[in-house]
A and B are shown apart, each in its own frame.
Chain A
Amino acid sequence: MSANAKPLPPINPGTQPFWDACAQGRLLLQRCGDCGHLQFYPRVLCAACGSRRLDWVEACGRGTVRTFTIIRRAVSAAFEPDAPYVVALVELEEGPTLMSNIVGCAPASVAIGQPVRVTFEIRAQGVAVPQFEPAA
């Protein structure tokens, strides 16, 4: 019950393909059809060159922990069962950074530079958010 009360991303038409893929267990990035720049989060234009010729490509799902924190005091009642939990910035092998949780390990074991791989937490019917767990 509490897991379902966690916030759902307010999906918009521009990000629908990203979230649809998450629900299928795939992490997507945008790639610029003109300059090849890879970006996250999804935008209307290429943040590097301004082109609007953007495609979706699947990320390999591997990255490293760029920085992290252990949240001791949950932000809301929905997160209390998880506390303490890890919020991190993960740098994907492809380059872009995203915020996420590191799950599947003791919070105290998380370290900057640690290799991680993507997993998905189902939040609602058809909505899953990408999280990361230690890579084997």
Chain B
Amino acid sequence: MAEDRSLRGQVAIVGVGDTEVGKVPGLGATGLCIDAAQRALDDAGLTKNDIDGLVTCNSMAEPHMYHAEAMAEHLRIFPSYCVSAGAGGGTTFAVLYQAALAIMHGVCDRVLISMADSLRTGLTREQAMVMQSSSGHPQFETPYGATVPGYYALIANAYLHKYGATAEQMAAVAVTARVHAALHPGAQMRAPLTVEDVLASRMIADPLRLLDCSLVSDGGAAAVLVRAEEADDRPQPPVYLLGAGEGHGHEHISQAHDLTSSHACQAGERAYAMAGLAPQDIDFVELYDCFTPVALIELEDLGFCGRGEAGAFVAEGHTRLGGSLPMNTHGGLLSHSHPGNPGAMFALTEAVRQLRGEAGERQVANAETALIHAQGGILSSHCTAILGRDR
């Protein structure tokens, strides 16, 4: 792919909003989507009638055939750009890139991205399990009875086998997330956690234990994107989109060419090229930690560690606040929340708050440049975005 810097610094995030997370009865998935939207609009000093672009993703608990259109109707807005995206967990940052393109090409001026679901209270455990495992190939995977943790365990086992990584190193990812979540007043899981606690939790799908797995949550988050020239008129300091890139390797894990690296490599390379930056320029990262080994593979794919080295890197504390590369400063999907496909939106809103310098106790010192990454499917669809305080 040709190098493309055309998007760099062209659009800015001027508002973000998170709903409550965890068990949030009383709102439902639609209510959470609207709640997140309103919070982001308030933060941006805008009203719904200022919005002419709307991006959502469908809800599992309250699905709509045309979700974004249904949310626009609920808000009673009449956008010129309206799309519900669907690439699993990778959806979130891919839409950031696409919304930026829509703004640059004059399709719309101000895009609201709002994504929410109520997996915790809107579905039974069995419904949630069957719905999520339906990501398997209907003919060639689903008949074998794998769960979502099972699909990821296939990757985890291959990774441990190839590099001699350990259960303790995987557990260190969960512990790091919890240390950060404890500093986030809104996080779902804030009680202290040790490596021993993770190793003592029950096996779900070998080698993944319960505490290697992310949460099941209600919740949602939203962001407002405008042309960079307009960003200075808004009340909050703007955060600029410096780079973005996607990578798509497969949909079903049985078709993956490589089980221990992914097309996060390509997504990252494209985002770095657009931003004109390299891994050493990144101050902190918000990665997709749906299961602990996924964060390890992403650290390697995105160029922060050599192959097989991420386990030791995390276990040695380099990804904690105060370390060389703080990771998942809000607690990630493991400890902040995981409402399904919208989960990575909290990585986006957290990165914006960090870059604005308003993350309180969990503030990364001198945070100027962030890399955020999300993936969907089973290490399938990837999107990397690089955000910065300066254009």
Question: Which A residues form the contact surface with B (CB < 8 A)?
Answer: 6-12, 15, 40-41, 66-76, 78-79, 82, 85, 87-89, 97-101, 112, 123, 129, 131
The A-B contact count (CB < 8 A) is: 104
- CB < 8 Å neighbour of A82 from B145, B207, B255: B145
Asked whether B358 is an interface residue with its Cβ less than 8 Å from the other chain, the reply is no
Cβ–Cβ contact B206 & A87, under 8 A: no
Asked whether B365 is an interface residue with its Cβ less than 8 Å from the other chain, the reply is no
Q: Supply 7 further A-B pairs (C-beta < 8 A) apart from A9-B142, A67-B155, A87-B150.
A: A67-B154, A68-B154, A68-B157, A69-B154, A76-B129, A99-B252, A129-B143
Cβ–Cβ contact A75 & B161, under 8 A: no
Chain A: minimal CB distance from B148 (Å)? 9
Cβ–Cβ contact B126 & A89, under 8 A: no
Complex-state Cα separation, A3 to B147, whole angstroms: 17
- CB < 8 Å neighbour of A123 from B130, B143, B155: B143
Give a binary string over B127-157; 1 marks a CB under 8 Å from any A CB, 0 the rest: 0011001000111111111110010011111
Given contacts A97-B254, A98-B140, A99-B254, contact A71 B157 (CB under 8 A): no
- CB < 8 Å neighbour of B130 from A67, A76, A98: A76
Asked whether B74 is an interface residue with its Cβ less than 8 Å from the other chain, the reply is no
Asked whether B75 is an interface residue with its Cβ less than 8 Å from the other chain, the reply is no
- CB < 8 Å neighbour of B254 from A10, A73, A89: A89
Number of B positions contacting A (CB below 8 A):
35
Please indicate the chain A residues that have their CB under 8 angstroms from the CB of B205 in the complex: 69-73
Cβ–Cβ contact B147 & A75, under 8 A: yes
Given contacts A75-B146, A85-B145, contact A112 B133 (CB under 8 A): no
- CB < 8 Å neighbour of B139 from A15, A66, A75, A89: A15
Asked whether B123 is an interface residue with its Cβ less than 8 Å from the other chain, the reply is no
Please give me the 3 A-B residue pairs with the lowest Cβ-Cβ distance, nearest first: A69-B153, A99-B254, A9-B139
Asked whether B204 is an interface residue with its Cβ less than 8 Å from the other chain, the reply is yes
Cβ–Cβ contact B202 & A72, under 8 A: yes
Please indicate the chain B residues that have their CB under 8 angstroms from the CB of A8 in the complex: 143
Complex-state Cα separation, A78 to B129, whole angstroms: 13
Cβ–Cβ contact A112 & B145, under 8 A: no
